[in-house]
Homo-oligomer: A and B are copies of this chain.
Amino acid sequence: MHAPDRKQVVIVGAGFGGLTTAQSLAKADVDITVVDRRNFHLFQPLLYQVATAGLNPSDIAWPVRSVLRNQANARVLLGAVGAVDTAAREVIINDGRRLPYDYLVLATGATHTYFGHDEWAPIAPGLKRIDDATLIRRRLLLAFERAENTDDAALRRALTTFVIVGGGPTGVEMAGAIAELAQHALAADFRSIDPRDTRIILVEGASRLLGAFPESLSEVARRDLQRMSVDVRLNAQVIGCDAQGVTLQKDRIDAHTIVWAAGVAASPAARWVGCAADRAGRALVGADLSVPGHAEIFVIGDTASVKAADGAPVPGVAPAAKQAGQHVAACIRAETEGKPRPAAFRYRNFGNLATIGRNSAVIHYGRLKLSGRLAWWLWSFAHIYFLIGMRNRTLVAIQWFWNYLSYGRGARLIVGSDTRPPGAP
C-alpha cells in the first residue's frame, strides 16, 4: 500500500520512457503509480510485423502489471488521463478520479498526423497501436481475398495495389514486409491472382528515404526495395486520399489499401501542463527534462522536444526514451536523498537501425555504416534481445526462424470488423 509520508510519483504512459522511469525507481524511497490507457507495454518497433502477419500481438506486448509484478513500490492503474491540475498537483483521470503527485512524469508518446486532413485517417490508418496493426492486417489480407474473387481487371489491380505514405523506418519496413507477404507467403495460396500483379508503392515527400540515416544507406534502402519490386516515389507529395486511391501532386494511384507512415504529432502532454511546445506539439523541456517553472513535472520520450548537449535534437526513438526515463529517475532519487539533481540529460546515440526485408537492413553507428545480410542478422538479434522475458524471446525467435525458412507468415487471420471496408465507394 502507498504510504502518505513517501513522495508520490505518478507516471503517465507505460511505453519505453514511462516503464524505464518506473523500473529505475525500484530502489527509491517513493510510491509509484503507472497510469496507462492500455493494460500492456508495446514493443512498437516490431508492430509492422503484426500488421503483416509475421507475429502475434501478444508476442510484442506484455501486461504492465506483470512487468512490475515484483516491484513493491509500484502500482499500475488502467485509465485515460484527461487533464493535470498543476496547482493542486493532481492528475485527473477521465472517470473523475484524481491522483495526487509530488513528481509527475509524462511519457505519453506520439501519434501520427495527417497534416490537417483528419478525414484521411479512416482511409489510411497509421501504425501506432495493436488495434492499428490488426486493422491493417485485416485490410491487407482481405484485399487479396477480394482480388481473387473478382473478374474485373481494374478492380483487381486497385485491390492488389498497396500505397505506403512516408519513407521513414516504419514506411520502409512496411513496404518491404508487404512485398514479402505478397510475393512469397501468399503467392502459392491463390488460384486467380498473379503475384506479379501486386504493386507496392512507397511515397516519400523528401528526396530520399530514411532521412535520419546517411545518404549512402538511404540509397541502399531504395535499391533493395526496388529489387523487391517496390515502386519508390521520391519528392512525391500526397494531396488527397480517398476510398479509391491516393492523389499525388503529379499522379493518381488507384489503390484500396493505404498505410500512413508519415507525420508525427505529440500527445497533448504539453497542453495538460501549460508548457510551451514546438510545431509538432512536443513539450519544450529544460536540460533536466523538467517543465520550465515546474521542477516537479518531467516530460520524456516522443512527446518531449529535447536538445542534446551538442544542440542536435534528440530523436524520437526507444533508446532515447529509455535514457530519458533513467535520467528522470536519477533526478527524483537524488532529491529524495537530499542531493542535487544530476547534470543535464545527455543522449548517447547507440546507432540507428532499420530493416528492409529478408537479409537486408541498414545500421548507422558513429562512423560505421552497415547494410545487407550482416546488418539484417544484427538487427534481428538486437530486437530479440530487447524483448522482455524468455517467453516472448523464444516465441519470436521460433516464428522468425520458421518465417525465414518457409517464407511463410503464420498470423494470417482476418478477425474483427472494419467500419470502412476497403474499397467501399
| Interface residues in chain A, defined as those with a beta carbon under 8 Å from any beta carbon in chain B | 1, 38-40, 56-59, 61, 63, 65-66, 69-70, 75-79, 97, 130-131, 134, 141-142, 145-146, 148-149, 186, 188-191, 390-392, 394-395, 398-399, 402, 406, 408, 410-416
Known: A58-B410, A65-B189, A97-B149. 7 other contacts (CB 8 A): A39-B412, A56-B57, A78-B142, A78-B146, A78-B148, A391-B398, A391-B406
A189 touches B131 (CB 8 A): no
Q: State the Cβ distance, A95 to closest chain B Cβ, in Å.
A: 8
B414 touches A38 (CB 8 A): yes
Give bound CA distance, A38 to B145, whole Å: 11
B408 touches A399 (CB 8 A): no
A416 touches B131 (CB 8 A): yes
Give bound CA distance, A241 to B385, whole Å: 48
Task: Say how many copies of this protein the assembly contains.
Answer: 2
| A149 cross-chain contacts in B, Cβ below 8 A | 77-79, 97
Q: Which 10 A-B pairs have the closest CB atoms?
A: A65-B189, A58-B411, A78-B145, A56-B56, A63-B412, A75-B191, A39-B414, A391-B402, A130-B415, A69-B189
A134 touches B415 (CB 8 A): yes
Q: State the Cβ distance, A11 to closest chain B Cβ, in Å.
A: 15
B189 touches A412 (CB 8 A): no
Of all chain B residues, the one with the shortest Cβ separation from A65 is B189
| A57 cross-chain contacts in B, Cβ below 8 A | 56, 413, 415
Contact A414:B40 (CB < 8 A) given known A66-B408, A391-B399: yes
| A394 cross-chain contacts in B, Cβ below 8 A | 398, 402
A395 touches B398 (CB 8 A): yes
Give bound CA distance, A125 to B365, whole Å: 52
Give me 29 A-to-B residue pairs in the complex whose CB atoms sit less than 8 angstroms apart, sorted by A's number. Answer: A1-B191, A39-B413, A40-B412, A40-B414, A56-B59, A57-B415, A58-B413, A61-B413, A63-B412, A63-B413, A66-B408, A69-B188, A70-B188, A76-B189, A78-B142, A78-B149, A78-B414, A97-B149, A130-B413, A130-B415, A131-B416, A134-B415, A391-B398, A391-B399, A391-B406, A391-B410, A394-B398, A394-B402, A395-B410
| A70 cross-chain contacts in B, Cβ below 8 A | 188
Give bound CA distance, A69 to B141, whole Å: 16
Residue among A61, A78, A188, A406 with the highest chain B CB neighbour number at 10 A: A78
Q: State the Cβ distance, A157 to closest chain B Cβ, in Å.
A: 19
| A76 cross-chain contacts in B, Cβ below 8 A | 189
| A75 cross-chain contacts in B, Cβ below 8 A | 191
Residue in B39, B141, B398 whose beta carbon sits within 8 Å of that of A398 in the complex:
B398
| A398 cross-chain contacts in B, Cβ below 8 A | 391, 394-395, 398
| A190 cross-chain contacts in B, Cβ below 8 A | 65
